[in-house]
Structure 1
Amino acid sequence: MFAAAHYAQFAVFVMACWGLGRTVLAWLRPPSRRDAWLEAAMAAALGVGLYICAFQALAIFGLFRREATLGLIGAGVVAAAWQWRGWRADVRALRAAAPAAAPWTRYERIAAIALALVVLPALVAPLAPPAAFDELMYHLPYARLVAQQGTLGIHDWLRYPWFPYNYNLLYAAALQVGDDVLPHFLNGLAGALSVLMIFRLGILHANRLTACIGAAIWLGMGDYANALIDMGVALFVLSAFVALWWWRESEPLRDGTRWLSLAAFCLGVAAGSKYQALIFLPLVAVFVVRHERRVLRAWAPALLCFLIPCIYWYARNAIMTGDPFNPIGARVFGFSEWVPADYVQQVADVRDHAEMPNALIWSVFLAPFSVLWKRSAAVRAAGWFCLYSVAVWVVTSRYPRYLMASFPLLAVTAAVGWQALFSGIAAGVRRLRGAKAAAPVGPRSGAGIGDWVVVLLLAVLAAVSVGQTATKVSMISLTPEAREAFLRKHVPGYGVMDYVRRNVTGRVYQIALNEAIYYGPNPIWGDTLGRWRYRDYLLLSPGDTARKLAAEGFTTVVMSPEMVKVLSVRPGFDQYYGLLHEQDGSRAYRLLPTTAP
């Protein structure tokens, strides 16, 4: 029942998103190249974006309440019911007009089965309780505050109080109508829609095997057990790419301006969710300006559509701090919440986590050697997008998660590369044996050695997926006792944070327990960066630290086991801090009455 209840709520929201998005897409008229399932995925993605804008507008005016959320979702469900008959008629008409498809070959069927197995972990992973670092540090705490208060605010006790929080508004809505597992499903929705888009793009512009490989790679790389926002950003970047290609295929381009505006809207939703989405604007601008230079008729509507989802965040920051990109624009616009040392520490932390991305996408550099590269302009466009994304990523961060917005297109382009690699190897083997060179891989080509090697790769991925499914199932907590045990095992400091939340009423300062603050009191102060940075307190003597905290209204301090070992042995510590609670090595102390120096 636990899983069924969550999937039922999820299905209702998906239906509402599709209904709202389909209503708008029907008004925009269909693209030149029709695909019912790609259009359905785009409709759902557009609906997600429209809901984000609606929630943002409500929260700006302090009206973001449970009743308003349910009313908007209900309107989407009504729209879905209204659009259902028309969509079914479109599907039948497209099937009737489409040429007869070639039968699925044996290796294509095997690839499809492998893909189905890769889906399994993604189906069960969202059911786990929140336990990922960043979702507990600021994504869910921010969403909970918005859900409770019904308005947007600046919360300086969070790690990034000035960031754009578009996708987090979905999590706030989920917390209004459900529990804290439901946001995982909205993160998973972004992954599911982008997987469907990748699969349909692979079939449209390459072949079924490419579609299965690309979808499997992106499924394997996605993380469905948390409420982060990277997959949401990836969905809207991919949706913008699809809309741009619809615009590029429109004949003439004048009639496709609607798709340019849709692409701009999707980029605006992405840019209003994470600053990293801004890196795609130069590439899109170059792509568009090659084909469209009409400012008033094309660029002006597109710019407006881009600004609608994201202008609030950037304008607010610029007005209140002088830095529209606070805090990453500090070197240009001046420091406000952060100091230069915070900036240096953040950059150093990103560099410390720099590493190569998942090896499954390395073959993207082999895509230009594929016959699909020569045949399909869409494949070439995806390839140039990937090369640009990787180049910018290498120059700026080399932190794998900052590349996730490009992962869906990297996955499908890497699939083209894998086919080129294995087909080339197979052709070389046949030449060495004196056999005829292999025929190019195409939608109707027979199975060659290279194809079977690719299928074997998918089979290995599927086998790993089955093992991961068992792990994800073990993380599901059906009872309060199971949830408690899971969180104590996976969230350092959960026990003491939960105790303080239930028993302490004053202001609480936490030390090195950032990754558990969602389970602590709301709000709770203390971080490595920003106004409440640890070094401003912990470099003082125990007495000076206690007096500083007391002067700022704090009554309680909680700290990780590592910090307990360091701080509790400092001379004079026991004169200022009294033990309240200890669990799993973490401790909570109350501030004792201090004597002025």
Structure 2
Amino acid sequence: MFEKLTFAAAHYAALAIFIAACWGFGRTLFARLGGLVHPDFWLETAMTTALGVGIFICVFQALGIAGLLNLPGVLLTVAVGFAAACVQVPAWLRQARALEPGPSLSWVEKAALAALALVALPTLLAPLAPPAAFDELMYHLPYARQVAQSGTLGIHEWLRYPWFPYNYNLLYAGALLVGDDALPHFMNGLAGWLSVWMVYRLGVQYLNRVLACAAAAIWLGIGDYSNALIDMGVALFIVSAWIALWWWNESHAAQPAHGARWLALAAFFLGLAAGSKYQALTFLPLAAWFVIRRERRPAVWAVGLLCFLLPCVYWYARNAVMTGDPFNPIGAKVFGFSNWNLADYKNQVDDVRAHAALPNFLIWPVVLAPFSLAWRRSPAVHAAIVFCAYSLLVWALTSRYPRYMTASFPLLALVAVLGWQVLLGWIAGGLRRLLPAAGRAGWPMRAGGIAAGLFLAVLAAVSFRHTTRELAKVSPTPAAREAFLRANVPGYAVMNHVREHAKGRVYQIALSEAIYYGPNPIWGDTLGPWRYPDFPLLPGAEAARRFTGLGFEAIVMPDAVARTLTAHEDFNRHFALMFEQDGAKAYRILPPAP
């Protein structure tokens, strides 16, 4: 246990330094954007930190373009941001101490905060586990590792998505340069925790504290803090852009100049999101419609466009110049195919459709939000409901893949609590009509107290179970890490063996979820120029000659594939078993007979 505590403390110390550096950069710029019509000190602090995250991404991108994204470059950037934070902390503390104390919390608000803390507890341990999620092992971390090792933003065609925009992954590359491969999980977790805090402060400002806790708990509960995907990073930038747009909307009439600055900030956040994932582009029509109703000056739009392009234009311009498709590979039907072919494109679309499903049930009541009083009373809530309706419509017409809705989850969670309030209000009203005694004085309060106590007791048990499970995944020693990976990553042992022993190229079949632990690089995938159908292993003699000619030494595959291949004598004459463990095998390619 002591080793786990030390391991956790080291990672949280590194995260704290990074957060301070982000805040230092963000506050330096944020202070120059002007005042707000309805300021919220703690929401501004979260937005400042998110802005700093974006500045780090832009600096890392510039360093990568110049081939200088290395350990000295990362440490220098962090040091400058941390120094900026140290200079500005005294003023920030004076502002915090000058805040007027709020009203004392009711027992309901205290119960809501306790529930939020119970939901948060497992997420604090989840990032400490070794990487084991499918997509982070297949291309997110392999790409980040390539950037960390080379110091540049190269094109790696052995990865499934070599041409994607990789803004948020640059933070993972920086994390790998200064720490182990659990540290990128904290970059992902930071995006989640920051956006949860934003949701909570929005709820306090426009709803009430109890609903704010409920909304934050929903988003906290459905987020995934145990991996290095980029969906929560995109969610952070989208909710930050929405907040900046609303600040622009509030300040536009009173302070047109400052309003334009908030518009530029919103555009910058949208650019960060678009430079992290193509799906973020779907929010641009809504944002443009929201802005053009009140702002049509070409100069303001030009500044907004420049701020949008700053963090993302590199990826799209590079793709357009090198492949003819700025949205490679999803724009292939319009701009022409390059590393993908039509079959790859169809397989990807079919795979997304196969994963179509309803999102988490906690956000389903979002459809009832228009029945709430807040819909009519608060323009900000009205705008959030419009955002959610647009997001749901676009999602339903395109992928219907739940993970592709993650970018909208923060605001969906905020609006969903209004739907839950409406639904529970209808249920309570029905009970009062059916059971008139339930309306007697004092009974609703007593019933509410009993329900809250039972809910907290159940939530405490669930939180304890999840926290214990996450704690068991923490692997501070090499032996614990090895045991965890063998149990959770199919093909890990074989991949690790060929990484340590193979001298030539290695081709993998149906083990994409383990390539991060294999040789670097490793070839083979269902899509792209190294697709499996283009490299058949039968007949064995022809396959062995071709692979040997390309410099390949070994092939790895799961047992199910190996059983099919080894049933053919021709395969056994040209491929020899090299290593097998945990349901996977590695075969050495035998040189052709003289």
Fold match (TM-score > 0.5): yes
Quick one: distance in 2 between partners of 1:292 and 1:447?
49
CA distance in 1, matches of 2:36, 2:61: 29
Using the size of structure 2 for normalisation, the TM-score is 0.95
Q: Displacement, 1:52?
A: 0.2
Alignment partner of 1:44 is 2:45? no
Q: Does 1:186 align with 2:184?
A: no
Deviation by residue 1:418-473 (Cα, 9 ceiling, x = unmatched): 112112221332244458999xxxxxxx9697898688667655542322111111
Report the counterpart of residue 441 of structure 1 in structure 2: none
Following superposition, the deviation at residue 72 of structure 1 comes to 0.5
* Alpha-carbon contact 2:211-2:417 (below 8 Å) kept: yes
What amino acid is aligned across from residue 541 of structure 2 in structure 1? Answer: G
User: For the Cα contact (< 8 Å) 2:19–2:49, is it kept in 1?
Assistant: yes
Q: In structure 2, what is the Cα distance between the partners aligned to 1:458 and 1:285?
A: 43
Q: Secondary structure at the match of 2:32?
A: helix
**RMSD (CA atoms):** 2.0
Query: Is the Cα contact below 8 Å between 2:111 and 2:452 reproduced in 1?
Result: no
**Partner secondary structure for residue 280 of structure 2:** helix
Distance 1:294 1:115 in 2: 44
Q: Which of 19, 31, 38 is the aligned partner of 1:14? A: 19
The aligned counterpart of 1:528 is: 526
3-state SS of the aligned residue for 1:28?
coil
1:230 aligns with 2:235: no
Partner of 2:28 in structure 1? 23
Deviation at 1:103, TM superposition (A): 2.7
Alignment of structure 1 residues 578-593 onto 2, 5 Å: 578-593=576-591
Counterpart of 2:3 in structure 1 is: none
Residue 538 of structure 1: SS of its match in structure 2?
Answer: coil
Distance 1:592 1:530 in 2: 26
Residue 330 (structure 1) aligned with residue 332 (structure 2): yes
Q: What is the aligned partner in structure 1 of residue 393 from structure 2?
A: 391
- Partner of 1:347 in structure 2? 349
8, 15, 24: which one aligns with 1:3 = 8
Residue 508 of structure 1 pairs with residue 510 of structure 2: no
Cα pair 2:431 2:438 within 8 Å, conserved: no
- One of 357, 360, 365 as aligned partner of 1:358: 360
Asked if the contact 1:497–1:516 (Cα under 8 Å) also holds between the matched residues in 2, the reply is yes
Q: Cα 1:259–1:488, aligned 2, differ >3 Å: closer, same or farther?
A: same
What corresponds to 1:566 in structure 2? 564
Which residue, out of 406, 409, 414, partners 1:407?
409
AA at the equivalent of 2:360: N
Quote the sequence identity (%). 61
C-alpha distance in 2 between matches for 1:85 and 1:447: 44
Q: 1:466, 1:195 → 2: CA distance? A: 21
Distance across 2 between alignment mates of 1:228 and 1:352 = 20
DSSP 3-state at the match of 1:27: coil
The answer (yes or no) to whether the contact 2:64–2:152 under 8 Å persists in 1 is yes
Cα deviation 1:385-435 (Å, max 9, x = unaligned): 111111111110111100000011111111111112112221332244458
The Cα offsets for residues 156-209 of structure 1, whole Å up to 9 and x where unpaired, read as: 000100000000000000000000010001100000000100000000000011
Superposition map of 1:128-527 within 5 A: 128-250=129-251, 251-252=253-254, 254=256, 255-296=258-299, 298-434=300-436, 460-527=458-525
CA 1:591–1:396 in 2, change beyond 3 Å: closer, same or farther? same
Q: Aligned partners of 1:259, 1:437: CA distance in 2, in Å? A: 49
Say if 2:84 is the partner of 1:79: yes
CA contact (8 A) 1:236 1:270 kept: yes
Structure 1 residue matching 2:35: 3-state secondary structure? coil
CA distance in 2, matches of 1:11, 1:275: 30
Q: Is the 8 A contact 2:490 2:583 kept in 1?
A: no
Q: Hey, what's the Cα distance between the residues in 2 that align with 1:216 and 1:493?
A: 36
Stretch of structure 1 that moved more, 482-491 or 551-560: 551-560
- Quick one: distance in 1 between partners of 2:301 and 2:96? 33
| AA in 1 matched with 2:521 | P
User: Is 1:58 matched up with 2:63?
Assistant: yes
Does structure 2 retain, via aligned residues, the 8 Å contact 1:321–1:336? yes
Q: CA–CA distance in 1 between the matches of 2:102 and 2:446?
A: 20
1:277-322 Cα distance to aligned partner (Å, 9 max, x none): 00000000011111111111x1111110000000000000000000
Secondary structure in structure 1 of the residue aligned to 2:347: helix
Does the CA contact (< 8 Å) of 1:427 and 1:437 recur in 2? no
CA deviation digits over 1:470-513, x for unaligned, max 9? 11111111211111010000001100111111111101111111
Superposed counterparts of 1:95-114, under 5 Å? 95-96=99-100, 101-114=102-115
Residue identity in the other structure for 2:152: T
Q: CA–CA distance in 1 between the matches of 2:35 and 2:560?
A: 59
List per-residue Cα deviations over 1:95-140 (Å, max 9, x = no partner): 24xxx64332212111110110100111000000000001100000
Deviation at 1:556, TM superposition (A): 1.1
What is the number of equivalent residue pairs in this alignment? 585
Q: 1:443: which partner in 2? A: none
Structure 1 residue 91, shift from structure 2 partner: 2.4
Q: Is the 1:19–1:47 contact (alpha carbons within 8 Å) kept by the matching residues of 2?
A: yes
The secondary structure found in structure 1 opposite 2:329 is: coil
The CA distance in 2 between the partners of 1:276 and 1:157, in whole Å, is: 23
Secondary structure of the structure 2 residue equivalent to 1:572: helix
Conserved in 2, the CA contact under 8 Å of 1:147 and 1:172?
yes
Q: Would you say the 8 A contact 2:544–2:591 is kept in 1?
A: no
Q: Distance in 2 between matches of 1:220 and 1:19?
A: 29
Q: Is the 8 A contact 1:425 1:450 kept in 2?
A: no
Find out whether 1:69 has 2:74 as its counterpart: yes
CA distance in 2, matches of 1:414, 1:462: 23
